[in-house]
Amino acid sequence: MPPRTPNQAAADPVEELRSAASAEDDNGQPLYEPTDPARPIGHANPPRRTRGLALQPPPRPSRLEVERRVAEAQLWIAQRVPLALIAEKARESWGVKNTQTINRYLNLARERMVEELISDRRRHQAEQIFALNDCARRAMDAEQFSAAVGAFRVIAEIGGLLRAPLKPPESKS
């Protein structure tokens, strides 16, 4: 991947996260080469941490794990989970404590949700119309006719049949 300037946005942020692991095995798990203490310290053999292994950052997620995290973030957004609770769930589920990383996953999830909504617009419209038809049918069975009329009005708006305002503009006399 060519180096980017700070003002230049990533072409595909999901692909950037997917390529975070340098190498993966056939199951999508990241491969890491252990450092050899006998070799001199360099870019391929970094120095050991003096504080111990407990403070080493967790390994980068595989592509499959990134996809799972983005899907889980989409679910949390769809459920309208508060941001503080999302951060807590991400710490428990993903082991990620950095809020910037959590926000990156949330932004990717939001972008993906918008793309899916735009690309599947007809399907979403059909689902909403079907649900409103059922709602109107139940409202008529319960003799709540104003609710049924409202549901049919929304169906007409979604279907593009109703474009004019419900009330005509007031005439100036």
Token pair 């799972």 is found at 68
CA-wise closest residue to 100 among 11, 92, 108: 108
Cα distance between residue 99 and residue 82, in whole Å? 14
The per-residue pLDDT for range 93-140, each reduced to its tens digit, is: 998 888 999 999 999 999 999 988 888 888 888 888 999 999 999 999
CA distance 117 to 115: 5
Instruction: Tell me the C-alpha to C-alpha distance, in Å, between residue 116 and each of 68, 104, 122.
Output: 17, 18, 11
More confident residue, 24 or 87: 87
Return the amino acid letter for 170: E
Q: Which of 32, 5, 112 is nearest to 66 (CA)?
A: 112
1 falls in which pLDDT band (50, 70, 90)?
A: very low
Instruction: Provide the mean pLDDT of the chain.
Output: 79
DSSP SS3 for 47 = coil
CB-CB contact of 48 with 39 (8 Å) = no
For residue 107, the model assigns a pLDDT of 94
pLDDT, tens digit, 9 for 90 and up, residues 57-79: 667 888 889 999 999 999 999 99
| Residue where the block lists tokens 């959590």 | 102
Domain ranges of the chain: 61-119, 121-159
Band of pLDDT at residue 52, cut at 50, 70 and 90? low
